[in-house]
Chain A
């Protein structure tokens, strides 16, 4: 399947026969280790066998060798997008107060809270945090958005306005405090995030080898920031967890030789893993594992 990644501004063209589904940020959220080159299987063709006998080169076999060689070259140059792992740094603004009855949280993406985060990305960040909690802090009870909205606000998802300025007044209302107390829910985790592209990297316009090739290459810096705001429903103090990751991406493109090859640092993937793990550490009532004596 051909992959294509275009970015407005400086040149960003990534294409290939990758199954790693695109350079779009959400596609890079799946954590991977090591270098991933989707086209590597195509690069081993085209060896000539190395016969020592005198060879009479027939026009037909020359054409065949040329074709095989050309295919091999195309196989390599169409290798596509190489995804390089990136590192993330995390910061946390405070500590979550433990609750006597255990922690129960809902992880949400809301356009009210984070209007600049694309819906698909927001939902992926939710999954990052939930995966982190499931893996690292299984003692934290996870509650669905539907159950949370019904239990705390008595409404369906979408019927409560979760803006930064509305959450506190809502949670301070006596009827909602009562509902929170009865539901045994302790935290609401709201996520947001974005990847910014800084065109500070080097790039060039058309590069030509007359009669043979016209091409261009470009490079930019990717900065990914994922944030989880952990709201204590009983007002014991909110904290914010941030995961930042930085890397680069670039591509070379050319015609008529169909050269489209590039790389991208998996900054989303790194931020995803780091955010999930840090939120789990922040909420984990027993970070060493629940199997206490």
Chain B
């Protein structure tokens, strides 16, 4: 029995040392304040790279699966923003003419990561926090596969670490918070992008 426990411990330690520590943030979608819903049918394409995007932090040997929860998050965000959303199997640029959608949105993750707190920042800000960021890139295609516009949504934060033993949990919560913020910015700022506004006008949306 003792040997079994020992083996379990060794396997667990090996897994830790071998870079098997991975986390999947579970961000919530901000539903209030809610956006004015756009009465359009929109297509969305999640590339395999986006779905499987994983951020690895080599110093701590941890991996953060960000693509998988982003698919769920932006699926919910688009459903909040548009009356009808259809998930497509091919990229927006390679759809061929489609009459059943007003456009195709394709999200990607362009940058993600966190850094260790510096002594200087800790002294200056009077808090120990891990600067963390996550940037999404969105491309809107016309039904013909022409790019209409593209824009970035970037979020960052520096969540204070109260208890050092909660550092991993704090980082996970920070990723969740930044993803939540990014999704909210995407939803609330969608109509404010000039080319999107023009596209909406073309679709008969004020």
Q: Tell me the A residues contacting B by CB distance below 8 Å.
A: 8-9, 24-26, 111, 115-121, 153-161, 166, 169-170, 194, 196-197
Contact = CB atoms under 8 A, between A and B. Distances in A.
Nearest to A117: B160
Interface residues of B, number: 25
Nearest to A115: B157
A62 to B, nearest CB: 42
Choose among B31, B119, B161, B170 the residue with the greatest number of A CB atoms under 10 Å from its CB. Answer: B31
Choose among B29, B33, B162 the residue with the greatest number of A CB atoms under 10 Å from its CB. Answer: B162
Nearest to B27: A158
Given A121-B162, A154-B32, A197-B126, 16 more contacts: A8-B128, A25-B162, A26-B162, A116-B127, A118-B160, A118-B161, A119-B170, A153-B31, A155-B31, A157-B28, A159-B28, A159-B32, A161-B32, A169-B33, A194-B126, A196-B126
Interface string B123-136: 10011100000000
A8 B162 contact: no
Interface string B90-125: 000000000000000000000000000001001100
A117 B177 CA distance: 14
B160 A156 contact: no
B112 to A, nearest CB: 19
Contacts of A117: 160
A8 B184 contact: no
Majority secondary structure of chain B interface residues (helix, strand, loop or mixed): mixed
A164 to B, nearest CB: 13
B162 A118 contact: yes
A156 B32 contact: no
Nearest to B184: A161
Contacts of B164: 24
A117 B160 CA distance: 7
A219 B36 CA distance: 55
B97 to A, nearest CB: 38
Contacts of B33: 161, 166, 169-170
B128 A120 contact: no
